[in-house]
Amino acid sequence: MGMFENGKYIGANGTDASSQSILLQLIDRAEIDERMSWINSSELDFSPSELTGVNEVLVTPNPIVAGTSIVVSAFLLDKTHPVEGLLFGDFAVTKNGVANNPTVAVYSSTTKKYTLTVGAMVATDVVEVSLNGIVLTLADVLYKSNTASVIVTA
């Protein structure tokens, strides 16, 4: 999104209802052509005003060597800010299609990466890493991510 501005608020005057205008500029045409959708609030089992927005996260694992550790970075999709404050339960890991979820997650503020401790992995295992659905952090921020796939090496 390039720009979002609140426009003029016009109060009700007895014959006309009150109104509020906004000005919205999209930089990428695909934001409308391919990714826009309308949802009627009656289709939801909650009020949309309760949500503050879900932030998309790019989870990128380092190459994995056989063992019990996976090192991943988690940045906002635009790669400008690392996602801090995630817990081990906020990650989902599978090994060859079977859950191998972490038991520990340690964040390094120096490298901006998490080290996840999982069950043993051996060469040729296919490991997938993502956030565990839509994650609500202790700071009341919502995140969701891609699923990254890596083949374990010896």
12-68 pLDDT, tens per residue?
887 888 888 888 777 887 777 777 777 777 887 776 666 667 889 999 999 999 999
Instruction: Write out pLDDT tens, residues 83-127.
Output: 999 999 999 999 999 999 999 999 999 999 999 999 999 999 999
Asked if 142 contacts 51 with a C-beta cutoff of 8 angstroms, the reply is yes
Give the angle subtended at the CA of 128 by the CAs of 123 and 130, to the nearest 5°.
145
What pLDDT, on the 0 to 100 scale, is given for residue 78? 86
CB-based contacts of 36, cutoff 8 Å, min separation 6: none
**CA 21 from centroid of its chain's CA atoms:** 30
Query: Residue 7: pLDDT above 90?
Result: no
**pLDDT band (50, 70, 90) for residue 82:** very high
Tell me what pLDDT residue 69 has. Answer: 96
Q: What is the pTM of this model?
A: 0.66
In the chain, DSSP finds a helix count (H) and a strand count (E) of 1, 12
Cβ–Cβ under 8 Å, residues 121 and 64: yes
129 pLDDT more than 90: yes
CA distance 142 to 85: 12
Q: Is the domain covering 54-151 a CATH 2.60.40.1220 domain?
A: yes
Q: Which of 145, 86, 152 is nearest to 125 (CA)?
A: 152
pLDDT at position 49, please?
62
Alpha carbon distance 90, 84 (integer Å): 11
Domain boundaries, the chain: 3-37, 54-151
Q: Is the pLDDT of residue 134 over 80?
A: yes
Asked if residue 1 has pLDDT above 70, the reply is no
Contacts of 123 (CB under 8 A, 6+ apart): 66, 152, 153, 154
